[in-house]
A and B are shown apart, each in its own frame.
Chain A
């Protein structure tokens, strides 16, 4: 099954009752899958007139109490940022999928990781954050999708699934057995018509600066709870490593192949793979820095996540970087060569 289709089925099984989307490559298989499945199930599907409309339909569905999702790719994600900012301000749950492609501008339709900063820094206007889940395989997509819906409901906040064109379009065997029936969350904020209760209002306009500041601090406390409780990551051959590669998503998948080769030649290279790009796994990285001096950041971008690695390490250790922007997918052999060279040079420096 393709990653895009698997994502769609996982959303259906996670209780997504509304999907709104606008066509853009490389995520069209998801929109098409949802058109078919949501129709079969009598759920809501709209092919919207734009990404802006789609995210606002999600907002409407969410404020009406539904589990709602939209998906897009990089240029479309730029358009959705307005709505994501409103969702965060209104404290409404939503799941937004970004199958990243090469950019900036029109870029191309090849897989890329150049939307990392947009996704992890809020992306739209104002002080807000979204949880960002970055799966690395089709099977893992089926794990992060129900998680995304649960986290969105739990925190009443939009959650971004940060994939890329390769993850969306590659075919892998997949099982959905891990997806449990969706949980019920108390929804005392939704608009249903004020039957037997005072009227509710959902808004983000707070003219009184004191009120707006309070609202901002309230959001910050929520983001702090996310940072405490929702960091997810995976390590690979990190126990005895002398160099740690930091990579996520499909980039980490390629790194894994490179590390296997490096290990065959007794180069002690391991990996830390953030599963949540935000909140970023800073603490485990800091802990690794107690025993490891060399960190190698690989991204399919000109260097975005490296900012988080620098912040986490705060001057500790040495950071190496290799990036392939523009939708280029390096091979494991290419990464094996580059990482190997840096590993060798680092070892020589140690001897001197």
Chain B
């Protein structure tokens, strides 16, 4: 019988702590699939965030540093400048990159640091219990926007890819999702491309991944995946936002 799928070698045999239907598990697995396929285990250094993704070092069998909330791009900059031959990527949530760490992400992008940012956008602060994130959609209900996000009081969803696209240092920015098998394959391709950009020394690359958070969206996993298609992608359109050849 032909083996069609197996656990990536660099994904440890541990149980994910993620909630049922969460996108982090898929994204973690995709990253390690890419690390395996591009033979990067001995080159990769991951910068983990604060937030739901912070325990990824329990799953990744690669060198990992856990950064302070929001500082991933600055820490990755320090590592990459010392070890330009390594593959350095940060894994950051929306609160991490689009709120508390916007300055660090923005300026790393502007300097064109040849690092890759895996930006997980699920529109809420997951780990702290579902508060409004900078990427929370207009009218979306969270624990701190009980009547829905009112742009007049709470601003608008932050579009990191579109903002970073205006910076000359960025070479590859793509928004993907992981809510169906075809989308997962596209997300994997995007991660590969981002890593390749870095290995080629082109500059700053970022993959924004719209990721379901059924627990904090108060939805079932299937409904959450559908909501990404029907609502989330309307405010966060999928696709390549910038690619410099």
Contacts from A to B (Cβ < 8 Å)? 17-18, 20, 44, 46, 48-50, 52-54, 56-66, 68, 82-83, 86, 90, 191-196, 198-205
Contacts and interface: CB of A to CB of B under 8 A. Distances in A.
A60 B74 contact: yes
A46 B41 CA distance: 28
Contacts of B43: 193, 195
B67 interface: yes
Contacts of A54: 74
A192 B83 contact: yes
A18 B86 contact: no
B61 interface: yes
Contacts of B204: none
A57 B113 CA distance: 12
B81 interface: yes
B75 A204 contact: no
A62 B83 CA distance: 11
Contacts of A195: 42-43
Given A82-B68, A202-B66, A205-B54, A59 B86 contact: no
A191 B48 CA distance: 13
Contacts of B68: 56, 82-83, 86
Contacts of B42: 193-196
B74 A199 contact: no
Interface string B69-90: 0010011111111110011000
A44 B71 contact: no
Interface string B176-192: 00000000000000000
B26 interface: no
A86 B47 CA distance: 14
B52 interface: no
B74 A53 contact: yes
12 contacts: A53-B107, A56-B78, A56-B104, A57-B81, A59-B71, A64-B78, A65-B82, A66-B82, A90-B65, A199-B61, A199-B64, A204-B66
Nearest to B44: A193
B13 interface: no
Given A199-B64, A202-B64, A192 B86 contact: yes
B64 A57 contact: no
Nearest to B67: A56
Contacts of A191: 45, 63-65, 79
B74 A48 contact: yes
B167 interface: no
A52 B71 contact: yes
Nearest to A204: B66
Contacts of A63: 65, 75, 78-79
Contacts, number: 135
Contacts of B165: none
Q: Which 10 A-B pairs have the closest CB atoms?
A: A60-B78, A64-B82, A56-B74, A203-B66, A195-B42, A57-B78, A60-B75, A49-B107, A61-B78, A56-B71
Instruction: Sort chain B's interface into a size bin.
Output: 35 or more
B164 interface: no
A194 B63 contact: yes
B158 interface: no
A18 B64 contact: no
Nearest to A86: B68
A49 B82 contact: no
A198 B64 CA distance: 12
Contacts of A199: 41, 60-64
A14 B80 CA distance: 22
Contacts of A61: 78-79, 81-82
A228 B61 CA distance: 39
Contacts of A83: 68, 71
A66 B77 CA distance: 13
Interface in B123-138: none
B227 interface: no
Contacts of A196: 42
A145 to B, nearest CB: 20
Contact of B82 (A18, A201, A202): A18
B199 interface: no
A65 to B, nearest CB: 7
Contacts of B80: 60
B82 A53 contact: no
B79 A60 contact: yes
Nearest to B65: A202
B78 A20 contact: yes
Contacts of A202: 64-66
Contact of B66 (A53, A194, A205): A205
A240 B76 CA distance: 56
B104 to A, nearest CB: 5
B45 A193 contact: yes
A60 B63 contact: no
Nearest to B47: A60
A200 B76 CA distance: 16
Contacts of A192: 45, 63, 83, 86
Nearest to A66: B82
A57 B74 contact: yes
Nearest to B100: A52
B170 to A, nearest CB: 16
B75 to A, nearest CB: 4
B98 to A, nearest CB: 16
